[in-house]
Amino acid sequence: MPNAQDIRRRIKSVKNIEQITKAMKMVAAARLRRAQEKAAASLPYTQKVREVLASVASHASDLSHPLLEVREVKNIAYLVLSADKGLAGAYSSNVIKEVLPRIAGKENSSVIAVGRKARDYFKRRGFRIDEEFTGFSEKPTLQHAINIARSVGEGFKSGRYDEIHLVYTVFHSAITQKATSVKLLPIEDMTGADANPSDYIFEPSAEEVLSHLVPQYLETTIYGALLQASASELGARMTAMGSATDNAEELIAKLILNYNKIRQATITREISEIVGGAEALK
User: Which pLDDT band holds residue 2 (cuts at 50, 70, 90)?
Assistant: confident
Nearest to 171 by CA among 246, 110, 88: 88
Structural domains in the chain, sorted by start: 22-240 (3.40.1380.10)
- Residue 271: the pLDDT is 86
Please name every residue paired with 171 in a beta bridge, in sequence order, or none if there are none. 177
Instruction: Specify the pLDDT at position 192.
Output: 47
For 32-47, b where at least 16 C-beta lie within 10 A, e where not — what string?
Answer: beebbebbeebeeebe
Q: In which band, very low, low, confident or very high, does the pLDDT at 197 lie, cut at 50, 70 and 90? A: very low
Over residues 144-169, the mean pLDDT reads: 94
Please say whether the beta carbons of 185 and 66 come within 8 A.
no
The distance from CA 266 to its chain's CA centroid, rounded to whole angstroms, is 51
Average pLDDT over residues 258-277: 86
Cα(236)–Cα(173) distance, integer angstroms: 9
163-173 and 176-185: which strand pairing?
antiparallel
Mean pLDDT of the chain: 87
What pLDDT digit, counting tens, does each position of 28-49 carry? 999 999 999 998 888 888 888 8
